[in-house]
Amino acid sequence: MSTERLEKLFNFLHTNSNDPFILYAIATEYVKQNDVKNAMEFYQQLVDQHPNYVGTYYHFGKLYETIGEKEKATITYEKGIAVAKEIHDLHALSELQVVYNAILGDDIDEDEY
């Protein structure tokens, strides 16, 4: 079933190679299949080609965390935070700030404010 989804996604990508959502969906499908190498490749392609596709940074950072690459995860979250601020995406900014604080060991309870 997963192979079928990837085939469909690659067909969509072939017809619309500039659609960041398709790249994101492919990366996500590879994550579901535990194919870290290909997931990384497509997340990196997203960051390179569509840097304002802010949702990428959260999932790319989480994947780095999963494989024990804390420093790369931290850098990815920092980039995502900068992009979220730039495009005024407060929801993405909030989510990225939470995972960034957590990876730094600064778990802040938002209810404290």
Q: Kindly state whether residues 41 and 61 are assigned to the same domain.
A: no
Q: Kindly state whether residues 63 and 38 are assigned to the same domain.
A: no
Q: What digits encode the pLDDT tens for the residues 23-69?
A: 999 999 999 999 999 999 999 999 999 999 999 999 999 999 999 99
Q: What is the number of domains present in the chain?
A: 2
**Which of 31, 50, 69 represents a domain boundary (last residue)?**
50
| Full-model pTM | 0.86
Q: Kindly state whether residues 65 and 105 are assigned to the same domain.
A: yes
SS (H, E, C) 6-18: HHHHHHHHHHCCC
Domain holding 17, by residue range, is 1-50
Q: Kindly state whether residues 77 and 104 are assigned to the same domain.
A: yes
Percent of the chain with pLDDT over 70: 92
Calculate helix-pair angle for 55-66, 90-104, nearest 10 degrees.
Answer: 20
pLDDT averaged over the chain? 92
Residue 109 has pLDDT above 60, yes or no: no
Q: Kindly state whether residues 39 and 83 are assigned to the same domain.
A: no
How much is the pLDDT for 39? 97
